[in-house]
Structure 1
Amino acid sequence: MTSPRRVTVVQGGPVLVEGPVEIEVDGVVHASDRFVVAVCACRRSKRYPFCDTSHRRRVRNDVEPERQDDNR
């Protein structure tokens, strides 16, 4: 008897699946032999169905931090 695969759903992120895995999307099979595979849940990934961290929010710092003089 084989042991069950562990699937972890990351809040706001990918679904982690113990590998190796084959993922079928629209009749196309994608395979990975990694020991843990991040499956994209947001469909923003350029490597879909695998996660490329595109779900992370992009934070821009348009304002330069104030300069502090070094008074030594």
Structure 2
Amino acid sequence: MPNSPSDRPRRITVRRRGPILVEGPVEVELEDGTTVSSDRFRVALCTCRRSRRYPWCDTSHRDRSDTGRRCED
């Protein structure tokens, strides 16, 4: 039964300079109402919106050295 007291809470790890790591599987609802899912044991959610695979992080934030918005903002 979902959300029963025996369910282990999901761990979410927030990194100052990078993505949010979420223990999977996960389902993510985007701003436009569409839903994407992953059955991986851990997923990285992009926080800087530079990823070509948004909402999944593809480490695009590492390639940028300009003064624009970066994950560490």
| TM band (smaller chain) | 0.7 to 0.9
Structure 1 segments unaligned to the other structure (5+ residues): 60-72
The structure with the largest helix share of the pair is 2
One-letter amino acid matched to 1:12:
R
**C-alpha offsets along residues 23-70 of structure 1, whole Å, 9 cap, x if unaligned?**
0102010100000000001000000000000111447xxxxxxxxxxx
| 4+ runs deviating over 6 angstroms | none
Normalised by the size of structure 1, how large is the TM-score? Answer: 0.76
Q: 1:8 aligns with which of 1, 9, 13?
A: 13
Q: Higher relative contact order at CA 8 Å, sep ≥6: structure 1 or structure 2?
A: 2
Structure 2 segments unaligned to the other structure (5+ residues): 1-5, 66-73
Q: C-alpha root-mean-square deviation of aligned residues, in Å? A: 1.3
Larger Rg: 1
1:23 corresponding residue in structure 2:
28
Q: What is the percent sequence identity of the aligned residues?
A: 64
